[in-house]
Amino acid sequence: MRTRSLVGVFVLLGFLTFFPSGWVQAQTIKIGINAELTGDIPKVGEGTKFAAQMWLEDVKAAGGLAVGGKKYPVELVIEDNESKAESAVKAATKMITEDGVLVMVGPQASKQAVPAGGIANNYKTPMITPWSTNPDTTKDRPFVFRACFLDPFQGPVLANFITQEFKFTKAAVLYDVASDYPKGLAEFFKKAWEGLHGPGSVVAYESFTTKDTDFSSQLTKINNSGAQVLFTPQYYNEVALIVQQAHQLGWKKPIVGSDSWGSAETVSLCGKDCYGLFFSTHYAAAGATGATKAFIDRYQKKHGYVPDDVAALTWDAMLLVQKAIEDTGGLTGDLKKDRENVRSAMGRITKFKGITGEMTFSGGGDPSKCAVIVRISDKGQFEFYKSACP
Amino acid sequence: MSRPAFVESAGIEPMVIFLQNLVNALQWGSFYALIALGYSMVYSILMLFNFAHGDIFMVGSYIGFGVSMGLIALASSGVVALPNWLILVLTILFSMFLTSFVGMIVERVGYRPLRDAPRASAAITGLMIGIILETGNLALLGARRVSFPSLIETTTYNVSGVFVTNKKIMIVLVSLLLALALHQFVRRTKWGMAMRAMAFDFAVVPLMGVPLNTMAALTFALGSALAAAAGILFGVAYPVLDPYMGIVFGWKAFVAAILGGRGSVMGATLAGFLLGFTEIFVAMIFPSTLRDLIAYSIILLILAIRPHGFFGEPYSARLRL
């Protein structure tokens, strides 16, 4: 009797092990959102959360995500990374090992996305960062993707734009040396500019560290360097301070920025001082059409303000995740296998029509797409000025 | 700016650059000086390191933001006619008044129960109160950056190549005025005399009938009011406020307070300006990446030569003025 029941238990156990679908009736697809909800750039985290939740609404309205002829309910696991590298790593580890997410979306800023990408890759979990433009985020990491272009791309695009638009030959750079994104972009810009105008054409290459608020000494140097344009690839809170202080020190020449300027907060903090300035970014809200406009209108109706590029890119990232999951052709229920399948499906995505442009992944984690040059209008709106493709 | 670029780059005299940075440093040093005064007073009179002081500066700045927004709403509703300069003056006065209560509450809740505790306990109290103020603000107002209203229109004066704004002039003048007022208070009033006596002997003077609790509250109130003034001036110059803005400021002002010499109003003010000058001029001469590295190495060197600060006396607890 005892042996027989023991055998019975083993048979049952074996059954359960080899047929996981037998004990999980309605498997839930969990998607991790690793966002900067507090800390230095909370607006970025807010846009991430709102866009992801809007996507979830659509999925819920459709009754779940259809994969291989079966509908799966979807759940978002939203974690705050406090805009800190170590918290982003902690949040990534938690959602991958404890919550068992299939895919992680975020973190947004390179400072968080570079270390978190390492975690995702080690645990063989696909991650897509909507906004991180630093090459290191996806470099040698088959499991890490992004929905935006790269820093090395923005550097030459801006150097070319300034050269063609203003015919300038001398540039100054002011950047945060303690943050991955500005530091990386400053270096790429310098390289591209000196490639165009020869060594020494970046006449002032000044830096500060995160949390600094007074840039008067650096700006005085820049003012007296003979530079014709100032390039500052900073985040919105610093942009306001840098631009205002530059003007107070008598700087009347153009100031140019990168996609980190593209937050709704930039103009509200900076005010009139920022009118008429240029920056490169992923999308421009003013003058948008089609699906982009539909997204903008829906977001604005719901949250009361025009979504910035983070929200738009997060929206695209969510749809890329959805497409990759759908393209797997069916989930096995084995998280390890499914994560691998989603990864290879995402790497195969071609000509994806996103609201921030058409994207193609050719095996690697970086899509090929175009950049937009935006001018901050005299009413403080982000206006499409020019498109710049590689 | 109509001159061609090559003239600008070649024609800048070193003197103009020096004077421009002098102006920059005066403004930057003003904040350190005002915050250092509060540190210095608490340290000399109560033998306490109030590490929450940088965060009281932050709270003062936010209170200033609230008060000014309230006054702007009042003025635009048409109940009373308030010109912008008056709003600024009222904001500074109200906020100093309100923040002095924050300081007194911090003293009552955080330090008074620990007055006989080891000094280390009192020091970590300050750190904890600081964290409570930061995260409390975060919980109350959220993580969004607050934009301090521009109360006075920025006017830039070009004095033969040196750019000065009306705000810079105001900041430096108000700071010096407040430091002078504190100096006079400590020097000429009965309360000031009691403070100096306390600094002279913390244990015996209360036995002579000086009310210790009142003195502690007064010290904190004065320090916090100055920090609030610094917070508002900061908001005027750098109109982006965040809950963690007081931390590094607090550390650096603490350096200034010790560098100035224990209990010296003049010393703390001078040391605050010295810190500002060092930072700005180091960034002028060396690559700006190395600013704090070199600046604080210099400060360390000064402290090694004068371990008691500029105006501190060896082995004396006297409040010198």
Nearest beta carbon to residue B288 from set A203, A217, A248: A217
Q: What tokens appear for B82 in the block?
A: 């308030």
Residues A33-51, mean pLDDT to the nearest whole number: 92
Average pLDDT, chain A: 89
Cis omega (within 30 of 0) on the bond before A107? yes
Q: Which H or E run contains B157?
A: strand B156-159
Q: Annotate B74-139 with DSSP letters as a single string.
A: HHHTTSS---HHHHHHHHHHHHHHHHHHHHHHHIIIIIGGGTTS-HHHHHHHHHHHHHHHHHHHHH
Res A340 pLDDT > 90? yes
Amino acid type, A269:
L
Compare all CA atoms of chain A with the CA of B242 and give the residue at the minimum distance.
A40
ipTM summary value: 0.84
Q: Which residue has the tokens 């502690």?
A: B216
B108 interface with A at CB cutoff 8 Å: no
Closest C-alpha to A324, from A300, A298, A352, A305: A352
For A251, the closest chain B residue by CA position comes to B1
In this complex, do A217 and B21 lie within 8 Å of one another by their Cβ atoms?
yes
Neighbouring C-beta atoms of residue B200, cutoff 10 Å:
16
CB contact under 8 A, A214 and B238: yes
Cα dist from A180 to A211, B93, B126, whole Å: 15, 42, 33
Put simply, the answer to whether B9 touches A39 (Cβ < 8 Å) is no
Beta-sheet strands, E only, within chain A: 29-35, 65-67, 70-72, 74-80, 103-105, 127-129, 144-146, 171-176, 202-208, 229-231, 255-257, 278-281, 352-354, 357-361, 367-368, 371-376, 382-388
Taking the Cβ of residue B135 and every Cβ of chain A, the question of whether any pair is shorter than 8 Å is answered with: no
Q: What is the pLDDT of residue B123?
A: 81
Please indicate whether, in this complex, the C-beta atoms of A237 and B145 are within 8 angstroms of each other.
yes
Write the residue in A170, A207, A269 that is nearest to B145 by C-beta.
Answer: A269
Using 50, 70 and 90 to split pLDDT, how confident is the model at B8?
A: very low
Distance CA B36, CA B32 (A): 6
Q: Which one, of A181, A174, A165, A160, lies nearest residue A215 by Cα?
A: A174
- In 3D space, the residue among A164, A195, A200, A111 whose CA is nearest the CA of residue A388 turns out to be A164
List the beta bridge partners of residue A358.
A353
Sheet holding A367-368, edge to edge: A352-354, A357-361, A367-368
DSSP string, A137-167: GTTT-TTEEESS--HHHHHHHHHHHHHHHH-
Q: Which two tokens stand for residue A247?
A: 């003007």
Please state, as a whole number, how many other Cβ atoms lie within 10 Å of the Cβ of residue A229: 21
B155 in A contact zone (CB under 8 Å) = no
Which residue from B12, B165, B287 is facing A248, i.e. has the nearest CB? B165
User: Testing the interface with A: which of B23, B138, B157, B238 to mutate, by most A Cβ within 10 A?
Assistant: B238
Asked if B214 is an interface residue toward chain A (Cβ–Cβ < 8 A), one would say no
Indicate the residue type of B233: L
Where is pLDDT greater, at B200 or A2? B200
Question: Domains, chain A, ranges and CATH?
Answer: 29-148+289-369 (3.40.50.2300), 151-281 (3.40.50.2300)
> Which contacts qualify for B278-282: CB closer than 8 Å, 24 or more apart?
B279/A217, B279/B25, B279/B28, B280/A216, B280/A217, B280/B21, B280/B24, B280/B25, B280/B28, B281/A217, B281/B21, B281/B25
pLDDT in tens, B79-92: 788 888 899 999 99
In this model, does residue A7 exceed pLDDT 80? Answer: no
Distance from CA of residue A72 to its chain's centroid?
Answer: 27
- Which range has the worst mean pLDDT, A20-34, A376-390, B25-39, B102-116? A20-34
B244 contact residues in A (CB cutoff 8 A): 211
Closest CA to B35 of B55, B63, B54, B48: B54
Residues B134-140, mean pLDDT to the nearest whole number: 91
Fold of B5-305: ABC transporter involved in vitamin B12 uptake, BtuC (1.10.3470)
Condensed to tens digits (0 to 9), the pLDDT of residues B219-274 reads 999 999 999 999 999 999 999 998 999 999 999 999 999 898 877 888 999 999 99
Please check whether residue A47 is in contact with residue A3, taking contact to mean a CB–CB distance below 8 angstroms: no
Residues of chain B with pLDDT > 70: what percent?
93
Lowest mean pLDDT among B48-52, B72-76, B140-144: B140-144
Cα R_g (chain B), whole angstroms: 21
Q: Does B245 touch chain A (CB under 8 A)?
A: yes
In the prediction, which pLDDT does B96 show?
96
Query: Which residue would you say has higher pLDDT here, A382 or A117?
Result: A117
Residue B282: closest CA among B298, B270, B268 = B298
With cut-offs at 50, 70 and 90, classify the pLDDT of residue A192.
Answer: very high
In A, minimum Cα distance to B134 occurs at A39
Which residues of chain A are within 8 Å of residue B158 when distances are taken between CB atoms?
Answer: 250
Contacts of A40 in chain B (CB under 8 A): 242
Residue extents of the structural domains in chain B: 5-305
pLDDT > 60? residue A119:
yes
Average pLDDT, chain B: 87
Mutation target for B interface from A173, A201, A212, A224: give the one with most B CBs within 10 A: A224
Q: State whether residue B136 sits within 8 Å of chain A by CB.
A: no
Q: What is the pLDDT of residue A6?
A: 66
Q: Confidence class of residue A353 from pLDDT cuts 50, 70 and 90?
A: confident
